[in-house]
């Protein structure tokens, strides 16, 4: 009898092993059939079954890994992340071919499950087609009416600098972390357009909101986001940073909803004070119309898109600027000498001064290039079959413009990995902008806030150089390490800002 049970046991054990082996072989075979590269598809690194290259790419420096892969596979290659194929564009030629020459074919965004969980397919940044066109057109026309990137916005920026400078002086030249102060200062510009008012640097609720932005932008480019986007049904039930950013995003939406409710209390359609007032009016005017995309939930997501984009990128660029000026004091002195000569110490800068400050302008552009603020831009989606770099890209594939590969291309820049304002100056010392300078991307999805960002960067940076000397604390060397995310920010640091007037 014992021998019978032994035979049955070994038979059962063998059946379980066979079933397990069959399941593994079936999953690998099904994955290969489902995810094999289509005919004429760009080459790329070999992908592991199921997970692809998820665990072979360093997600703390993805842009660098993707740039290195281009050396092996060319300017247009494919890489699989989980269950998703990505087409990576490298170099100015590939970028122009895709984003400019074939801009209509790549004007859409892919639907990312983690983004969808937050936006529910609304807003501007990650939408496509009619909803994107209607919301973008409304946002740009409305914000322009309130001075968006016009000279009428200069006093708002200069006034905000005065508040920020007062905060800097409070430290009396002692080390401090400029992160939240700069985020608040820059954010107040877009807040004046969206909400009609600014927020004090002592507002703890607003400071908490600004801290959240960084967490969201870094998590969205992390392996957690990649896992969620590839294995949504499984990941939505697991704890992790992907759950945290859902909670954070809800907090941001609650903040915006509270602002909207305050506007509603004394809203007058004949007196439109800001973007929210105009949007409330647009909701009323478009009720019942075909293909109407104006409603309160969409307004919340659109405000969130503008709020985050208008706060994070410019403030991050300026923080890189402080770091580079402390690292290269001779460049800082040269900038200050030019400002002193052209503007002096008593008058505030204006956009008209830009043409007479070529070296300062070159330094700002070199900060943007080296800072590489949005290293992989935002993903595009092919809305029809296209050819890129001689390869066939079917409709429905995500395309990643690797801006890093252009901003640090040794064929485009004399010293790509060295901070050199000469990249933007000709032999006569006049400012020139090379074609390879594309920090705001290109084509139909060019950053809508580019003109505002340029104005903010010039006025803020010039004012800071006019009023302060930036240096590292005694015994501390400037470190230009980064934190990778949708935006590339410097690691937290402390700096000394000494008033030049004193």
Average pLDDT over residues 38-63: 91
Average pLDDT over residues 172-199: 95
Domain for residue 178, yes or no?
Answer: yes
Whole-angstrom distance, CA of residue 305 vs CA of residue 123: 7
Average pLDDT over residues 12-19: 66
Domain for residue 304, yes or no?
Answer: yes
Indicate whether 145 pLDDT > 90.
no
Average pLDDT over residues 458-477: 97
Indicate whether 5 pLDDT > 50.
no
Indicate whether 153 pLDDT > 50.
yes
Kindly calculate the radius of gyration of the chain based on its CA atoms and give it in whole angstroms. Answer: 26
Average pLDDT over residues 341-357: 95
Q: Flag the least confident range among 137-146, 358-367, 375-384, 480-489.
A: 137-146
Indicate whether 179 pLDDT > 50.
yes
- Domain of 106? 37-499
- pTM assigned to the model: 0.92
Indicate whether 209 pLDDT > 70.
yes
pLDDT for the residue numbered 423? 98
Q: Which residues contact 199 (CB under 8 A, 6 or more apart)?
A: 184, 187, 188, 191, 206
Whole-angstrom distance, CA of residue 154 vs CA of residue 454: 12
Domain for residue 7, yes or no?
Answer: no
Domain for residue 170, yes or no?
Answer: yes
pLDDT for the residue numbered 52? 87
pLDDT for the residue numbered 7? 45
Indicate whether 16 pLDDT > 90.
no
What's the pLDDT tens digit per position in 117-141?
999 999 999 999 999 999 999 999 9
pLDDT for the residue numbered 83? 86
Domain for residue 159, yes or no?
Answer: yes
Hey, is 425 helix, strand or coil?
strand
H/E segment holding residue 349: none
pLDDT for the residue numbered 27? 59
pLDDT for the residue numbered 30? 61
pLDDT for the residue numbered 134? 95
Q: Comparing C-alpha atoms, which of 319, 334, 340 is closest to residue 500? A: 340
Domain for residue 284, yes or no?
Answer: yes
Q: Flag the least confident range among 18-27, 430-439, 451-460.
A: 18-27
Do residues 47 and 81 touch, judged by C-beta distance below 8 A? no
Indicate whether 2 pLDDT > 70.
no
Q: Report the share of the chain in percent with pLDDT over 70.
A: 93
Domain for residue 93, yes or no?
Answer: yes
Residue 96: give its domain's CATH number.
Answer: 1.10.630.10
Domain for residue 113, yes or no?
Answer: yes
pLDDT for the residue numbered 4? 46
How many other C-beta atoms can be found within 10 angstroms of the C-beta atom of residue 117?
16
Question: In the block, which residue shows the tokens 């992390």?
Answer: 222
At residue 33 the predicted structure's pLDDT band, cuts being 50, 70 and 90, is low
Q: Which tokens go with 297?
A: 């939930």
Domain count, the chain: 1
Beta strands (DSSP E) in 195-325 are: none
pLDDT for the residue numbered 11? 47
Mean pLDDT computed over every residue of the chain: 91
């Amino acid at each position: 009898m014992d021998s019978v049970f032994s035979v049955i046991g070994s038979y059962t054990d063998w059946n379980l092993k066979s079933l397990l082996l069959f399941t593994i072989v079936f999953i690998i075979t099904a994955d290969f059939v489902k995810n094999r590269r289509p005919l004429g598809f760009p080459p790329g690194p070999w992908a592991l079954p199921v997970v692809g290259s998820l665990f072979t790419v360093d997600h703390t420096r993805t842009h660098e890994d993707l740039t290195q892969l281009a050396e092996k596979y060319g300017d247009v290659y494919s890489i699989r992340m989980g269950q998703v194929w990505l087409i990576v564009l490298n170099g100015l030629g590939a970028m122009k071919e895709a984003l400019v020459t074939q801009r209509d074919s790549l004007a859409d965004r892919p639907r990312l499950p983690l983004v969808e969980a937050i936006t529910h397919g609304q807003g501007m940044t990650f939408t496509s087609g009619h909803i994107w066109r209607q919301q973008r057109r409304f946002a740009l026309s409305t914000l322009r009416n309130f001075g968006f990137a016009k000279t009428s916005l200069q006093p708002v920026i200069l006034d905000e600098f005065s508040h920020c400078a007062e905060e800097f002086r409070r430290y009396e030249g002692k080390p401090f972390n400029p992160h939240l102060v700069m985020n608040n200062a820059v954010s107040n510009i877009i807040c004046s357009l969206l909400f009609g008012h600014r927020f004090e640097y002592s507002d703890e609720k607003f400071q908490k909101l600004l801290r959240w932005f960084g967490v969201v932008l870094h998590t969205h480019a992390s392996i957690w986001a990649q896992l969620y986007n590839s294995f949504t049904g499984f990941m939505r039930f697991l704890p992790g940073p992907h759950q945290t950013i859902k909670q954070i995003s809800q907090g941001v939406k609650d903040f915006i909803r509270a602002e909207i409710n305050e506007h509603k209390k004394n809203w007058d359609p004949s007196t439109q004070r800001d973007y929210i007032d105009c949007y409330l009016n647009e909701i009323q005017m478009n009720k019942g119309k075909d293909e109407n995309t104006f409603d309160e939930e969409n307004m919340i997501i659109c405000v969130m898109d503008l709020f985050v984009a208008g706060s994070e990128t410019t403030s991050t660029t300026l923080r890189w600027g402080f770091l580079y000026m402390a690292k290269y004091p001779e460049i800082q002195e040269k900038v200050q000498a030019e400002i002193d000569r052209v503007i002096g110490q008593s008058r505030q800068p204006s956009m008209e001064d830009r043409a007479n400050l070529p070296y300062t302008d070159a330094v700002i552009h070199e900060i943007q290039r080296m800072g590489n603020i949005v290293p992989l831009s935002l993903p595009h989606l092919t809305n029809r079959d296209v050819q890129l770099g001689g390869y066939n890209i079917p409709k429905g594939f995500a395309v990643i413009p690797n801006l890093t590969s252009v901003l640090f291309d040794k064929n485009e820049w004399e010293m790509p990995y060295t901070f050199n304002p000469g990249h933007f100056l000709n032999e006569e010392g006049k400012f020139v902008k090379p074609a390879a300078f594309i920090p705001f991307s290109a084509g139909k999805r060019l950053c809508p806030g580019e003109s505002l960002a340029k104005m903010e960067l010039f006025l803020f940076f010039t004012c800071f150089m006019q009023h302060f000397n930036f240096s590292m604390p005694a015994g501390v060397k400037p470190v230009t390490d980064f934190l990778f995310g949708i935006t590339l920010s410097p690691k937290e640091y402390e700096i000394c800002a000494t008033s030049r007037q004193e």
